[in-house]
Structures are given as C-alpha cells and as structure tokens.
Copies of this chain bind each other. A is one copy, B any other.
Amino acid sequence: MNPDPSLQLRVFDLNCWAIRYLSKLRQERIGLIGDTLSQEGFDLALLQEVWSERDYCELKQKLTAHYPYSHYFKSGVIGSGLCVFSRYPILDTFLYQYSLNGYPYMLQHGDWFCGKAVGLLVITICGIIFHVYVTHLHAEYCREKDAYLPHRVVQAWELAQFIQHTSKGADVVLLGGDLNMHPKDVGIRLLRGWTGLRDSFADTERFEGCEDGCTLVPANCFTSTEELQPFPLGIRIDYILYKGLSHFVMKCDNLVTTTGTAPGQRIPYSDHEAIIATLCVKRRGEAEGSRVRAVEPELVDVVNEARTEVRVGLHAAERQRYSKGRMAVLSLLLLLLQAAMGLSSLAGWDSQQPFPKFSFSLLGLLATVVLLVSTALYIFHTIEVKMLQGTEEQMRLALQALQDRFSSM
C-alpha cells in the first residue's frame, strides 16, 4: 500500500452566459463547451448561467460517456443556472436559495428572476468525501454606485454560513462559481475569512492564463469594453476556492484560464473566461495532526465592514418600504374618494359630474394599478427589511462569538 497516496483532480469552472434569445452564438458556444468537456475529460465541471434546461439536457446527452453523473439545480422563475457534471457518483444534493437577490422590478437586470442560490453536491472519490459547492452571486452593474452591494454581501454571508454549517462531515470542500466580486471586495474577504477557503489563483504553484487571473477580459469579444474601461487588464470575479478538512490537505498544482478565445477556436466559450484547476488532495501527515484553523483577528474588521454595508442596505430598504407604503395609502385614498364621488353621482346628490367620465375612469384605473403595484412592493421591501435586520443580528452575534474567542485566548 502506498504510504502517501495523493489524489489529483481536474476541475473546470465556467459562467456559460447561455441566455436563450439574448446571448450571442449561444448554441455554437454550448456545442463548443460540450466538445471541450468531452475531450478533456475533467473530473468535475461546475457551470453557471446555463439558464435553459434544454441546453443542460443537450450537454448531458453529449457528456454521458465521460460524465455519467450530473445535476441541474432548479430554482427561481428561470432556474438557478447552476449545473454540475461529474465523473464520480453524486450521492446527495442540497440547494440554498439566497434570501435577497435584487428586485423584481429591475427587469433590465433580471437577477431576481434567476433564483440565485448555492448548490451542494456530496461526492465520494477514492473514499474521500467531497462537498462541492457551485454558486452565482448577484451581478454588479455599476461599481461606483452599486445598489446591489448589500444584497451581495448578504449572499456572501449566507454562502459562508451555508458552507460552514454543511461541511462538517466533509474531508474536502470545493467551491466554484461566479461570485461577482473582485478579490479584495468585502464579500470575498468575508467568505474566505469565515470559511478558511483558499484561493486557487493565489495558492497555485503554476499559473497560465490572463494576467492577474482575470476572468472578464477586454480580449474577449463578448465583453463590453466600456464597462471594463477602469480595469485595462480585466477583472477577476470567477473563483475556484477549496480547503481540506479533518485529515486532508488540498493544494492547487496548476491553474489555467482561457485568454479571450476557446483554445484553438475563433470564439470564446462565453463572455467569462473558463478556469481549469488541477488540485491535489493528500492525507495530512501524522506530525501535522488534525489542526483547528486559527481565526485571524482581521476577521472582526471584515465582519464589521460587512455589517456596515448591510446597515446601509437596511436604511435604503426602509426608505423604499416607506415610500411604497405612502404611495399605496395615497392611491387607496384617491380610490375611496372616487368611489364616494361615483356613488353620490349615482344617487343623484350631485346634479353635475365634476370631471368628464372618461378622465374620471382613467384616474381610477391609474389609482388601482398604483395601489396594486405599490402594495406588492411594500410587501417585497418589508421582507427585504426583515432579512437585512436578521443578517445584521446574525453578524452581531458572530462578532460577539469572535471577540469572546479572542479574549479567551
């Protein structure tokens, strides 16, 4: 028996940008992704933004030989877009939908309709229990004035909490996905600090690909050069993160990103670059023991920073709730007034109608629509307020636990 066996794993991660009727060259690109996955024979392929289940089924059919196991996570109106193809049996799956994910009325952004979530897959490879997480967080549409930052911070917190609470039985944790956060953003620091996940780009022994490991680069013909103007090299928002637990250590031997086009092709796989990591899992040496991870004191600052962002979001949500509530009350008052006028006119108390009937009806129509929409939005923002308050409270509790831990050291 080999005294120090190590397991090598090749993982492919890609945000596929496969929106039916909207994404350019979608079918061609899905075909290309299928071909590459099939030829390269990775161990795991973690895909995001496969919005159409037909595309998933097409991939599944093509990949049955090399990836006999696969899973598509269903959620939201459109679907979560998350799917995984695996060479090894998927023993269990679990989905956690983020409690906040944008606004239904931001139709031009559409994140709300996607049911953003984190999917967990339990896979055993050579007796090692892998907890594989795949996720996609809310997009950032304007970095200078990012209205979605509090929601993304809540998602990063929920992701970190979900991983922490569900990975206790795992030997190895692997997270792949489009986190829509730059490496130094508060959400990433929170996620990494809270979970102890390591960044494959920062830790890899060999790297080949876009400078700084960027996954949204100007060289990609599908990216908007205007949006990337402040970042001439591009940005890194797609990640493969990992950690070994209990008796295992994991490291990244090799990391590769595509560089604007799919290898040997004239087009890229997507508007994002693909990441391919070669990971190595090894049993921890006797001398190392099963270490308990030391929590960095900076984590307190990171949680505090995240909590401030949540508070900013809370104030905005409270303002929105108030304005929607006021709108609903005003439109209800207008409708009641109109009803009273209509009734008095019908009863013959008013000899003359103060408004022409047509304008009167149009006004009624408008008030009804405003009442319905603002009531629905009032309910929506009330839920948002509750979730932000809940997260803020959870973070307060987490800070207290951290401080207790440091003071008892």
Q: Which residues of A contact B (CB under 8 A)?
A: 71-77, 79, 90-97, 99, 104, 113, 115, 120, 161-162, 165-166, 168-170, 357-358, 361-362, 364-365, 368-369, 372-373, 376, 379, 382-383, 386-387, 389-390, 393-394, 397-398, 401
Cα A168 to Cα B166 with chains together (Å): 8
Given A362-B361, A365-B368, A376-B376, are A75 and B386 neighbors across the interface (CB < 8 Å)? yes
- From the candidates B120, B168, B369, B390, name the one contacting A169 in the complex (CB within 8 A): B168
Nearest-neighbor residue (CB-CB) of A162 within chain B: B94
B372, A365: Cβ atoms closer than 8 Å = no
Residues of B within 8 A of A362 (CB): 361
Residues of B within 8 A of A357 (CB): 357-358, 361
B394, A93: Cβ atoms closer than 8 Å = yes
List 19 interface pairs A-B (beta carbons < 8 Å), by A numbering. Answer: A71-B393, A71-B397, A75-B383, A75-B387, A75-B390, A79-B386, A93-B394, A93-B397, A94-B162, A96-B96, A97-B97, A104-B379, A115-B383, A120-B165, A166-B168, A358-B358, A361-B361, A369-B372, A376-B376
- What distance in Å separates the Cβ of A252 from its nearest Cβ neighbour in chain B? 26
Beyond the given A168-B169, A361-B364, A368-B369, please list 11 additional residue pairs across the A-B interface where CB-CB is below 8 A: A71-B393, A74-B389, A74-B390, A74-B393, A76-B383, A77-B382, A91-B401, A104-B379, A168-B168, A357-B358, A369-B369
Cα A358 to Cα B394 with chains together (Å): 55
Residues of B within 8 A of A379 (CB): 77, 104, 113
B386, A95: Cβ atoms closer than 8 Å = no
Residues of B within 8 A of A165 (CB): 92, 94, 120, 165-166
